[in-house]
Each structure stands twice: as C-alpha cells, then as structure tokens.
C-alpha cells in the first residue's frame, strides 16, 4: 500500500508482536481501531457518508440517475462503483497513479454486491423493461491509513442507508416513451433496503497469524491478505419490533490481495474469523446509523463535516 516507509527492524518488531498477540497500538488481533461515521455530508448527492477509521478517511457519495434497464434483466436496476484515490492521500496517486488500487477496490465491491441476496436490484426498478434507477456509488479516498477495503464497505453501506430515492408522482405514457414526474418534496422519498448489503473484512496475514484491521505499517509487513465479503443482517437496521427471521450470514465474495499465498488450512480458519468479525461490525454499524437517523428526524443533529 502506498505511503509509509518502515525499516527492517520495525518490521521485525511488528511481526514478533503479532506472534504474541500484541500490536503496536495496544490492540489484540481481533480489535478494530476507533471509527467515526457521519452521514449526509454532501448536499449534491442523494446519500453520502464519511468514515474515518484512525487515519483512513473515506467519503462516499451516492448519486441517482434514471436509466433504461438492460434487456436481459428488465426488472432490475443498476449499481456502479467508482473509486477515486485522491492525491491528498499520497503524492503517488497524482494523475493516474492510484488507478490500479482504485480498480482493485471497485471490482471487489462490484463482486460483493453482485448477488441478489446481498443487494436486491429489484428495488431500483421503476417501470419494468423501460426505466430503472441507476445508482452511482462514488468513493473518494482522502487518506490511507491501512485497511481500505473494510472502511470503504462500511462507508458505502452507510451512504446507501442514507440514500433517498424520490417517489414517482405520475407517469405519462406517450407512445412507447414514458415521461416520469418525480416528487419535489424531499420528505416524499423512499429509503433503500440495504439490510443485507455486504461488509468486507480484510484479514492480514502477519507471520503465522491473521489480524483484522491492519494499520498501514502492518500492511507493509504482510505479503498476503484475504478479503471476505459477508452479507448483513437486516435486523440490525430496523427500529420497529416486527422481527424478520434471522438470516444466516453468507459469504458474498472472497478474494486474495498481495503477492503471497496461503495454505488451505489458514484460509479456512481465516474465512470463519472474517465472518464473525463482519457480524460484529454489522451490528455496530446498524446501531450507529439508527442513532444518527433518530437525531436527523428530531432535528437534533449537528453537522460536523471536516470542521470537527
């Protein structure tokens, strides 16, 4: 990963620490660093979120557009991920320098959201075969402090939770064309159903152990990391008590990053570790988002943005 340079002895220090379950910032191998999350930060977007995970800073904006569905899937909408590595993060990203990293992250996200059990594209349908919503999920990486994938997936889920699609007031059929009239009222809108949206968990193999949420320095010490995408639990994102049957968490994507390789046994244990971690994260994210939603609806929320 871009940025930090560390020396041989620092590497040894980190590797030995991880062996004994001590990390340089005092965490154990299954701890996450503190996170800050704020939604609704960009007014030009339909939904947005900013997540700061220690030094990693991600800003996500969701924009909506009306589009024609693909002929082979007339009843489904579209979703597209675009990652931009800002040069603010490191001068290496200037010009087209961050493109490779951006492509890796966006294709991982695309894969994770592929399954209808992870994100149901049917809810983006307006008029079957004629019109649908297209969601542009634009991810801006402002600072890299390690563990980009996890931070991106959390921020994307929060931004999608915050996204409001305007309701359709009327549709005029004119020959084969449809003229839609969208509601102007910002409160007359519907929320997306994102309960099952996947979260990514990166497990970084340092020495012989796997740790979650690696910092930039720890990423430097490892040659291989495993990214596990796990579908969420809709129960965490609901306030009222009509309990939906608990859905078991499933893997929506698994991929490996880095130049190394893994033995099958490590891979298996890492996948299980990833699923447990994702479940906890999902729970925490759901709580935070619901709390924030309450604050917004009672007009108690104070917008911080970058000024805090």
Q: In the chain, what is the greatest distance between 2 CA atoms, to the nearest angstrom?
A: 73
* Residue whose CB is less far from other proteins, 232 or 286: 232
For the bound state, the minimum distance from the C-beta of residue 79 to other proteins, rounded and expressed in Å, comes to 13
Q: Which residue is it, tokens 């996948």?
A: 271
* Residue whose CB is less far from other proteins, 72 or 240: 72
* Residue whose CB is less far from other proteins, 91 or 188: 91
For the bound state, the minimum distance from the C-beta of residue 274 to other proteins, rounded and expressed in Å, comes to 10
> For residues 201 and 274, is the Cβ–Cβ distance under 8 A?
yes
For the bound state, the minimum distance from the C-beta of residue 103 to other proteins, rounded and expressed in Å, comes to 6
DSSP 46: S
* Residue whose CB is less far from other proteins, 183 or 290: 183
CB count, 10 Å around CB of 205?
24
* Residue whose CB is less far from other proteins, 144 or 160: 144
The three-point CA angle 34-35-40 to 5° equals 165
For the bound state, the minimum distance from the C-beta of residue 41 to other proteins, rounded and expressed in Å, comes to 8
Give the list of residues 6+ apart from residue 171 with CB closer than 8 angstroms, or none. Answer: 127, 178, 179, 180, 181
Give the separation between CA 205 and CA 286, rounded to whole angstroms: 28
* Residue whose CB is less far from other proteins, 86 or 238: 86
Record the tokens describing residue 237, joined without a space: 């994102």
For the bound state, the minimum distance from the C-beta of residue 299 to other proteins, rounded and expressed in Å, comes to 20
* Residue whose CB is less far from other proteins, 151 or 226: 226
End-to-end CA distance of the chain: 28
User: In angstroms, what CA-CA distances link 229 with 50, 105, 171, 197, 266?
Assistant: 20, 12, 38, 10, 17
Q: How many residues does the chain have?
A: 308
For the bound state, the minimum distance from the C-beta of residue 20 to other proteins, rounded and expressed in Å, comes to 25
For the bound state, the minimum distance from the C-beta of residue 126 to other proteins, rounded and expressed in Å, comes to 17
């Amino acid at each position: 990963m871009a940025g930090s340079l560390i020396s041989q002895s620092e590497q040894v220090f980190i590797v030995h620490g991880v062996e004994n379950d001590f990390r340089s910032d005092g965490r154990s191998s299954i701890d996450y660093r503190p996170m800050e999350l704020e939604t609704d930060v960009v007014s030009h977007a339909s939904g947005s979120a900013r997540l700061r995970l220690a030094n990693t800073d991600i800003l996500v904006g969701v924009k909506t557009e009306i589009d024609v569905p693909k002929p082979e899937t007339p009843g489904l909408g579209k979703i597209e991920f675009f990652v931009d590595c800002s040069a603010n993060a490191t001068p290496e990203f200037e010009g087209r320098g961050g493109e490779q990293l951006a492509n890796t992250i966006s294709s991982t996200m695309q894969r994770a959201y592929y399954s209808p059990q992870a994100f149901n594209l049917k809810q983006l349908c307006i008029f079957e075969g004629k019109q649908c919503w297209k969601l542009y999920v634009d991810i801006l990486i402002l600072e890299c402090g390690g563990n980009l994938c996890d931070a991106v997936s959390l921020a994307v889920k929060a931004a999608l939770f915050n996204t409001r699609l305007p309701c359709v007031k009327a549709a005029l059929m004119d020959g084969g064309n449809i003229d839609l009239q969208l509601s102007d009222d910002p409160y007359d809108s519907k929320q997306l159903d994102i309960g099952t949206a996947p979260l990514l968990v990166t497990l970084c193999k340092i020495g012989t152990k796997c740790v979650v949420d690696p910092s930039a320095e720890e990423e430097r010490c490892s040659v291989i990391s495993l990214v596990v995408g796990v579908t969420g639990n809709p129960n965490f994102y609901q306030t009222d008590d009509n309990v939906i049957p608990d859905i078991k968490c499933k893997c929506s994507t698994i991929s490996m990053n880095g130049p190394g390789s893994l033995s099958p046994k490590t891979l298996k244990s890492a996948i299980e570790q990833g699923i447990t971690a994702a479940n906890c994260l999902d729970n925490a994210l759901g709580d935070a988002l619901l709390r924030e939603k309450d604050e917004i609806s009672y007009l108690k929320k104070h917008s911080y943005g970058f000024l805090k």
